[in-house]
Chain A
Amino acid sequence: MVVSRDLQHEVEQFLFHEAELLENRRFEEWLELLTRDVIYWVPNIRDDSDISDEAMISYEGYDELRARTVRLRHPLNPTQKPPPRTRHFITNVSAEAGEGGELRVRCNLLVYVSKDGKVVHHPGTSEYRLREEDGSWRIASKKVYLITNDLPLTPLPIM
């Protein structure tokens, strides 16, 4: 079921806002966008990943993401000197009603990461479950399928 034009707009603005927080290293504010039971999952190799049978590029809950923030902020983190610069390009946004008042959102994603004179890019698709909490949308899950996930990965020291 397609959502209203207003809601579509709201979802797109939400995704753009998220990207902006990440690009500007406003990590703590980004954490505020998450539900406490969030799962952030970047599967590896296949699209139908099974967490029991496959290593994952990333599979993190709220605590792990908070720890990631602490790491990225730490003055001695060797991957952050200088910090990588990122840009997120988000297109093909679609939203539909999910279970229990949640929204299921899907978009295409192209992330550019520039670090130490090298630029890598990762095209993929993101799937979100958004849940309304205290009057705003929060991310209950985010699954990112990179179409580069069958290649050896160079360091990705980002959120």
Chain B
Amino acid sequence: MTTETRPGLQDLVQGDRVHRRVYVDPQVFEEEIRRIFKRTWLFVGHDSEVPHPGDYKTDTLLGQPIVMTRDGNGAVHVLFNRCRHRGAKVCNQPYGNSSSFSCLYHGWTYTNAGDLIAVPSRELCPADFDPGSFGLLPLPRVESYRGFVFASFAADGPTLEEHLGRVTVYLDRLIDRAPDGEVEVAKPVMYEYGGNWKFQLENFVDNIHARFTHESATHARRTLGPSMGPRYADAPITDPARTRPGNLRLLGRGHVVCDYGTERTKIPFGGYGFSGRNAEYVRLLEGRHGPERGRLLADADIHIVIYPNLLLHTQYSHYRVLKPVAVDRTIMQGYPIKLKGAPPELNDELVSAASDHVSAAGAVQIDDMEAFSRCQEGLAIESDEWVLFPYGFDGERVVDENGEVVLPQASELVQLAQHEAWREFMANE
């Protein structure tokens, strides 16, 4: 690691601008993995991906194989998927159900809680060899919030509760949209783009780009939408000239929320607020939460960024898990969110709408991916060093009674808040 970048890391974010190296320098990327991703909490999966005892899914976290299991007692584990003998990845199926995992190489066998229960030809090992100390390694810390399972590579640091802070208020809103008070996820689509991981986080709460980047999709909806099914009903495009307050909220530690209120869901042909569309669903929510909150939940239209690797979206009901692969390569998994207890036809519609929104062959995200790879290409230019975030920089920022910073909807202070969190993580060796 060169000495050149280390002292300068914090100076890469300055006021309303960010240095291009934040997006293109492989050494900065390495430091990000070490100082951000390996220190903080990372989202790993949802309870509903392993609903029954013995269920598991395999995945990678920062390129390292993991397996998330539910043991016979119903407890969820997040384990490194690596044989303690000579290192083979133990479980090679994307998901399944099994009470144990046997290594393909020499047959060491582990329970789904990670305990090593069989070592073939053990008599050939020294007498004091103790299988009890060679279970599959768990991630150093694993905690969950209402079914959302997070893990940390760091043994110490803020608790998950401290890490999430006020973001749980909005996560609650997303989860409480399920009449049974729990969400479950469908299997994901995956996409990858040739750009830095931060582009996706910036974009998820970017209220300025849509009428340029997504104009073709908007045009299709505008011209065909009213005659088409609800899947193609979408909100009218956000007007960047409007500065209606109360939309963007900075929640600390890089977490941000865009709360569109119910405005986008009150359009003639529906949107994915449901008060106008699925009366049965609204009745269920009102029954559980009362008319006011019930309707608020039914119409909730929020984007949530849980820094650094989870993005959630109520309207096209899904969340995305971000995987930084290289400074210029990012993989995303998009999981449709289903609302437990909601009418089945509504959940089918949500899965379909989420797919359409987030698939790399779909209608919306595909445009953003184009923007990400073009930014990556443009930032190869060395003589223009700074990336600018001027919109709203001088605008109002109100701190509300809960300590949330409230911004107007067209403000790049929301992206700068992510970079500020970045700077704080990176300042810490």
Contact = CB atoms under 8 A, between A and B. Distances in A.
B288 interface: no
User: Dominant SS at the B interface?
Assistant: helix
Interface string B190-205: 1111100000000000
Interface string A137-154: 000000000000011111
Interface in A30-85: 42, 44-46, 51-61, 63-64, 66-68, 70-72, 74, 76-80
B45 interface: no
A52 B229 contact: no
Nearest to A159: B361
A52 to B, nearest CB: 5
B331 interface: yes
Interface in B169-211: 186-194
Contact of B224 (A59, A60, A66, A80): A66
A155 interface: yes
A70 B334 contact: no
A157 interface: yes
B359 A71 contact: no
A156 interface: yes
Contact of A67 (B189, B224, B373): B224
Nearest to A54: B187
Central interface residue in A80, A150, A152, A156, by most chain B CB within 10 Å? A152
B28 interface: no
A72 B351 CA distance: 24
A156 B216 contact: no
B280 interface: no
Interface residues of A, number: 39
A111 B186 CA distance: 28
A154 B193 contact: yes
Contact of A71 (B186, B220, B331, B354): B220
Nearest to B325: A152
B113 interface: no
Interface of B: 94, 186-194, 212-213, 215-217, 219-221, 223-224, 227-229, 231-232, 318, 331-332, 334-336, 344, 347-348, 351-352, 354-356, 358-363, 366-367, 369-371, 373-374
Given A57-B355, A71-B219, A152-B360, 19 more contacts: A45-B188, A52-B347, A55-B355, A57-B189, A57-B359, A58-B356, A59-B355, A64-B356, A67-B221, A67-B224, A70-B220, A72-B216, A76-B219, A80-B216, A153-B191, A153-B359, A154-B193, A155-B193, A155-B366
9 contacts: A44-B355, A52-B344, A55-B186, A57-B189, A57-B359, A58-B355, A63-B224, A152-B192, A154-B192
Interface of A: 42, 44-46, 51-61, 63-64, 66-68, 70-72, 74, 76-80, 116, 150-158
